[in-house]
């Protein structure tokens, strides 16, 4: 009875971690607008293709980007959970934001959304919205499987320090980037889960758990991983190393032959057809040649110095970088996470040096070597991907997430007595949990949220509203310009207050021009709300506070006085909405409104 209670107590931590992860994963999923996850606009159509009963797609031969080159298992699972829901209205969710990508890596909320989002994404969910959300929630469960798998790996690798297993599982569960990815449609979620389970089975082999069932399970997991993503190919040499080590310890090459064919045979039995299909369709088991026509390699090929310069950005995208690698946390967050990584690495180095001096204490080395070897194999594939494309990002290391977190946590805690090590682990996990809980509300949701809206002019803080109608649909009732003087290279902020007279049936663009006596100095164009609140979403009678940053180019002529003009136009034909006044109004032309003046200062004047 006592041993049963002990087992329950030991597993309480992982149960709580899994519950917290699933809850947070759903929050992250709901905080990210549909199709704004990394490559989600290509991943979900693959799911839909299978769900529609069209079989497996072929890679595009027209150069159109897609994920159709990927192995199909994740997409088949997504189709299995979503096929009862019709997603024929998917195209309605894929209206592009034409201003996406403006200063993509700059902080703030400036046109971070690649698509225009509408209220159709709100509950109750139907059609493609419901189908995508179902697949996203499947991804959350797959993320939970990675967390559980990490716990199991830790139990095998550190049997005397169970807090390492639970602690590493918590660190994965509360890594903001892992939570974010787990809330999107992306095959990396299944890849990470299956690779983690494979490492768990291999860790068990190192502990002598070499039943036929475990070997068959290992082959099955590797086979399924090979049907998910090419990264899983690295599992083959990893399994080979473990089986070779076992054969060496047993002094039996027959054991290597027997176990190797069990594992490899099952893996090929499950996945071999996919590689045969690639050979038949593309003359290449992996279809790499066809993929390279769609995703051409970097040109010129980066040098090692180039790759080293890119590493800080890859590190950021491993921990907390959202959207299409264009939504960031505060800089201090990365500083703290970097410190956590470096301390863990220093701790590992100190452990290695200590063990080298005391060579009789080598009981943990086989498992540490397994974890390190798996990380190095995935990291090698990652570097090769960096050489091929700039699209290599931190999430491509997630198949080795269990190894990374177990090694880092061991580096932090090995030299502490078990009681203090448990306290330290709890503190680290709690700190990361707080960051994970805050992230959706502090960093993700604000960049996609509409601008401030008010019911009346008084609520908007406008004492004497203007009365300038644009096309009879909206009225400009006020404007603010700050600062009143700027120098070349600085940013001018222009805030426009719109009142909705009639909900527009088209998405109009807003322009803000800074014009001096010689012509255009600077301009800025965007959908309202910096892409977050297009005019078709506007509601009758509301007042919208719409702010635009306008960067003054370094080549601007100074000193000078410049007018600030604003208006609306239809991007398809560049036709501006006509302006008419029915009350108090600043100067205006037929299609532009003078909302104020700004003084352009020379660099010398600005410094005085």
Query: What is the reported pLDDT for 63?
Result: 63
Give the pLDDT mean for 21-46: 96
Q: pLDDT tens, 312-330?
A: 999 999 999 999 889 999 9
**What pLDDT does residue 537 have?**
94
pLDDT at residue 325, rounded to an integer = 87
How far apart (Å, rounded) are the C-alpha atoms in residues 333 and 320? 9
The mean predicted confidence, pLDDT, of the chain is 92
Q: Would the pLDDT of 277 be above 50?
A: yes
- N-terminal to C-terminal alpha carbon distance within the chain: 81
CA distance 329 to 118: 25
With cut-offs at 50, 70 and 90, classify the pLDDT of residue 3: very low
Determine the pLDDT at residue 603: 64
Confidence (pLDDT) at 409: 97
Q: What angle do CA 262, 268, 270 make, to 5 degrees?
A: 105
Q: What is the pLDDT of residues 391-402, one digit of tens each?
A: 889 999 999 999
Stretch 358-386: mean pLDDT, rounded? Answer: 87
Cβ burial 189-207 (10 Å sphere, 16+ → b, else e): bbbbbbbbbbbbbbbbbbe
What's the pLDDT score for residue 6?
42
Confidence label for 10 from pLDDT (cuts 50, 70 and 90): low
Residue 397: DSSP 8-state? G
Report the length, in residues, of the chain. Answer: 608
Q: Are 175 and 432 in contact (CB under 8 A)?
A: yes
Closest CA to 431 of 63, 144, 171: 171
Q: Which residue has the tokens 């029915």?
A: 582
| Pairing mode, strands 593-600 and 485-486 | parallel
pLDDT of residue 392: 87
Residue 463 has pLDDT above 60, yes or no: yes
- The answer to whether 262 and 216 are in contact (CB under 8 A) is yes
Contacts of 234 (CB under 8 A, 6+ apart): 374, 377, 378, 380, 381, 399
Has residue 181 got a pLDDT over 90? yes
What integer pLDDT is reported at residue 589 of this predicted model? 79
239: its two tokens: 């399994």
> With 90 as the cut, is the pLDDT of residue 495 above it?
yes
* Whether residue 362 has pLDDT greater than 70: no
pLDDT value, residue 276: 95
Residue spans of the domains in the chain: they are: 2-446, 453-607
- Alpha-carbon gap, residue 196 to 365, rounded angstroms: 19
CB 67 within 8 A of CB 42: yes
Place of tokens 């609306």: 568
- Looking at residue 494, its pLDDT comes to 96
Q: What is the Cα–Cα distance from 400 to 380, expressed in whole angstroms?
A: 12
Question: Which helix H or strand E contains 265, and what residues bound it?
Answer: helix 253-282
For residue 361, pLDDT over 80 is answered with no
pLDDT in tens, 190-241: 999 999 999 999 999 999 998 999 999 999 999 999 999 999 999 999 999 9
pTM of the model: 0.93
> DSSP characters for 38-89?
TTHHHHHHHHHHHHTT--SPPPPSS----STTS-SHHHHHHHHHHTTS--TT
Residue 360 confidence (pLDDT) above 60:
no
For residue 168, what are the contacts with CB-CB under 8 A and spacing of at least 6?
150, 151, 153, 154, 402, 405, 406, 409
Q: Residue 604: pLDDT above 70?
A: no
Q: What are phi and psi of 115, to 5 degrees?
A: -120, 160
- Mean pLDDT for the stretch of residues 422-438: 96
**CA 403 to CA 594: how far, in whole Å?**
60
The domain 453-607: what is its CATH number?
A: 2.60.40.10
CA 301 to centroid of chain Cα atoms: 26
More confident site: 257 or 61: 257
Rounded to 5 degrees, what angle do the CA atoms 214, 396, 205 make? Answer: 15
For 547-575, b/e burial (b = at least 16 CB within 10 A) is: ebbbbbeeebebebebbbbbbbbeeeeee
Structure tokens at 564: 């600030």
Reply yes or no on whether the pLDDT at 102 is more than 80. Answer: no
pLDDT: is 48 or 292 the higher one? 48
What pLDDT score was predicted for residue 5? 39
pLDDT of residue 61: 58
- Kindly give the pairing relationship between strand 485-486 and strand 560-570: unpaired
């Amino acid at each position: 009875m006592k041993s049963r209670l002990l087992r329950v107590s030991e597993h309480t931590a992982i149960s709580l971690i899994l519950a917290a992860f699933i809850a947070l994963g759903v929050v992250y999923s709901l905080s990210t607008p549909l199709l704004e996850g990394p490559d989600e606009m290509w991943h979900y159509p693959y799911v839909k293709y299978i769900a529609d009963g069209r079989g497996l797609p072929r890679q595009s031969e027209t150069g159109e980007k897609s994920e159709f080159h990927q192995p199909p298992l994740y997409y088949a699972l997504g189709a299995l959970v979503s096929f009862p829901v019709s997603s024929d209205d998917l195209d309605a969710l894929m209206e592009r934001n034409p201003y996406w990508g403006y200063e993509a890596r700059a902080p703030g909320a400036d046109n971070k959304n690649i698509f225009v989002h509408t209220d159709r994404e709100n509950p109750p969910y139907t059609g493609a919205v419901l189908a995508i959300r179902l697949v996203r929630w499947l991804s959350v469960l797959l993320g939970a499987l990675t967390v559980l798998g990490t716990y199991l790996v830790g139990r095998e690798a550190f049997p005397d320090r169970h807090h390492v297993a639970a602690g590493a599982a918590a660190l994965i569960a509360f890594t903001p980037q892992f939570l974010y990815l787990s809330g999107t449609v992306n095959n990396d979620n299944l890849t990470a889960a299956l690779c983690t389970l494979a490492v768990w089975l291999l860790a068990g082999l190192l502990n002598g758990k070499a039943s036929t069932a475990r070997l068959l399970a290992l082959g099955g997991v590797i086979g399924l991983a090979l049907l998910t993503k090419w990264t899983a190919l690295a599992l083959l040499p990893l399994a080979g190393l473990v089986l070779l080590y076992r054969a060496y310890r047993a002094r039996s090459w027959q054991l290597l032959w027997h176990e190797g064919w069990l594992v490899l045979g099952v893996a090929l039995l499950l996945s071999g057809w996919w590689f045969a299909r690639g050979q038949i369709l593309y003359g290449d088991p992996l279809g790499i040649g066809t993929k390279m026509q769609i995703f051409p390699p970097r040109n010129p090929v980066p040098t090692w110095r180039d790759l080293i310069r890119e590493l800080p950005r890859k590190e950021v995208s491993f921990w907390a970088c959202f959207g299409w690698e264009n939504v960031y946390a505060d800089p201090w967050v990365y500083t703290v996470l970097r410190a956590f990584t470096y301390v863990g690495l220093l701790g590992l180095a100190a452990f290695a040096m200590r063990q080298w001096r005391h060579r009789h204490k080598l009981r943990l080395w086989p498992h540490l070597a397994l974890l390190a070897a798996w990380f190095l194999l995935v990291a090698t594939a990652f570097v090769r991907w960096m050489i091929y494309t700039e699209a290599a990002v931190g999430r491509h290391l997630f198949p080795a997430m269990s190894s990374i977190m177990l090694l880092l946590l061991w580096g932090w805690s090995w030299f502490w007595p078990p009681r203090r090590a448990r306290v330290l682990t709890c503190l680290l996990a709690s700190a990361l949990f707080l960051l994970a809980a805050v992230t959706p509300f502090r960093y993700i949701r604000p960049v996609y949220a509409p601008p401030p809206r008010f019911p009346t002019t008084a609520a908007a803080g406008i004492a004497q509203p203007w009365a300038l109608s644009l096309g009879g649909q909206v009225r400009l009732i006020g404007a603010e310009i700050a600062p009143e003087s700027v120098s070349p290279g600085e940013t001018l902020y222009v805030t426009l207050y719109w009142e909705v007279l009639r909900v527009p049936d088209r998405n109009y663009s807003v322009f803000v021009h800074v014009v001096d006596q010689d012509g255009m100095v600077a301009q800025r164009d965007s959908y309202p709300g910096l892409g977050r609140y297009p005019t078709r979403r506007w509601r009758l009678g509301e007042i919208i506070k719409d702010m635009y940053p306008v960067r003054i180019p370094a080549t601007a002529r100074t000193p000078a006085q410049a007018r600030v003009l604003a208006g609306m136009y239809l991007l398809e034909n560049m036709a501006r909405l006509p302006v008419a006044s029915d009350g108090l109004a600043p100067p205006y032309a037929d299609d532009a409104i003078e909302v104020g003046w700004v003084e352009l200062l020379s660099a010398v004047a600005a410094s005085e």
